[in-house]
Amino acid sequence: MFKIALVAHDEKKAEMIEFAKKHKDILSQCDLTATGTTGKLVRQHTGLLVTALLSGPIGGDQQIGSLVATQMLDMIIFLRDPLTAQAHEPDISALLRVCDVHNIPLATNRQSAEILMTHVKLCLEGGENHADCTS
């Protein structure tokens, strides 16, 4: 089972809900974790089972980073708002860095998230014997 984290800045939360609805059939087969508000919204609008951690600005990004560092996540979908300054930017940078350190796929926009979902779908449809399937 793929372990996926969902994170979205305030201006991208509606887009994350749309993304989760579109990929509900795939995401329902995954172990989902999210930062606080994102997790609650995805759960509320899709019915998906999502473990919601703290909100990003109060430690949720760091909690996600900890899951990466302890190999408890396979990938992250992080819909970032590149046009708005974030008060917790150091936490965001640390999350990006820990993903690079531990070679964890990280989608930071909708198109890269779509590519990761294509990969997950192929693996779930029987490609788990393929070398690139991590689940």
Please write the tens of the pLDDT for every residue from 32-72: 999 999 999 999 999 999 999 999 889 999 999 999 999 99
Q: What tokens does 101 get?
A: 């350190």
Element (H, E) at 35: none
Q: Which of 61, 74, 91, 132 is catalytic?
A: 61
Q: Note whether residue 134 is domain-resident.
A: no
Task: Please give the pLDDT value at position 128.
Answer: 58
Domain CATH number, residue 40: 3.40.50.1380
Task: Please give the pLDDT value at position 129.
Answer: 59
Does 76 score more than 60 pLDDT? yes
Q: Note whether residue 116 is domain-resident.
A: yes
pLDDT-based confidence at 126, cuts 50/70/90? confident
Average pLDDT over residues 105-112: 97
Question: Are 10 and 41 within 8 A, CB to CB?
Answer: no
Among 11-15, 51-55, 84-88, the range scoring the smallest mean pLDDT is 84-88
Question: Are 77 and 7 within 8 A, CB to CB?
Answer: yes
61 classed as catalytic:
yes
Q: What is the mean pLDDT of the chain?
A: 92
Total domain count, the chain:
1
Range of the domain at 106: 3-129
Q: Note whether residue 54 is domain-resident.
A: yes
